Amino acid sequence: MPLIHVTSNISLSDAEKSNALRTLSQTIAELLGKPERVVMTLWSSAKMTMGGTDAPAAFLELRGVRMPADDTARLSKELSERLSLTAEIRADRIFINFVDIEGKNWGWDGKVLS
C-alpha cells in the first residue's frame, strides 16, 4: 500500500498534476510489484528553496509497508527521471525520502496490515 507524496514549488495546472501523479502511480506499482489499485499519490504545493534559490524543486516521500531497503538507488533514479519528464524539474533538484512503515501502523480497507 504505497503512498507517494510530492511537494513542489512549481505551478502546474490540475491536468498536469494529474498526469504527473498517474505517471508516478504506474511507476510505483511497476517498480514495487504492487497492483496499482493499492497505490496512492498526493501533490502539495509549497514555497520552497533548494541551494538558496526558488528554482523548480520537489520533495518526494515514498511510504509503504515492507519497502525494499536494498533497492532505493533504483527507485530514486526512476522516480527522479519520471518526475523530471512529466513536471520539468531537474533530477538534481529532487529530494526523495523512503519510509518503511510497520504493517501494524498502516491501515487500509478497514484493516491494518500486520
Catalytic residue, chosen from 2, 35, 56, 68, is: 2
Q: What is the pLDDT of residues 78-87, one digit of tens each?
A: 999 999 999 9
Nearest to 95 by CA among 33, 2, 6: 6
CA pair distance 51, 57, nearest whole angstrom: 10
Domain spans, the chain:
3-112
- φ and ψ at residue 38, rounded to 5 degrees: -105, 5
CATH number of 3-112: 3.30.429.10
pLDDT on residue 49: 97
pLDDT on residue 55: 97
Does the pLDDT value for residue 13 go beyond 90? yes
Q: Is 2 a catalytic residue?
A: yes
- Averaged pLDDT for residues 6-22: 95
CA pair distance 74, 31, nearest whole angstrom: 9
DSSP strands (E only) in 11-93: 40-45, 58-65
> What is the pTM for the complete model shown?
0.91
**How many residues in the chain?**
114
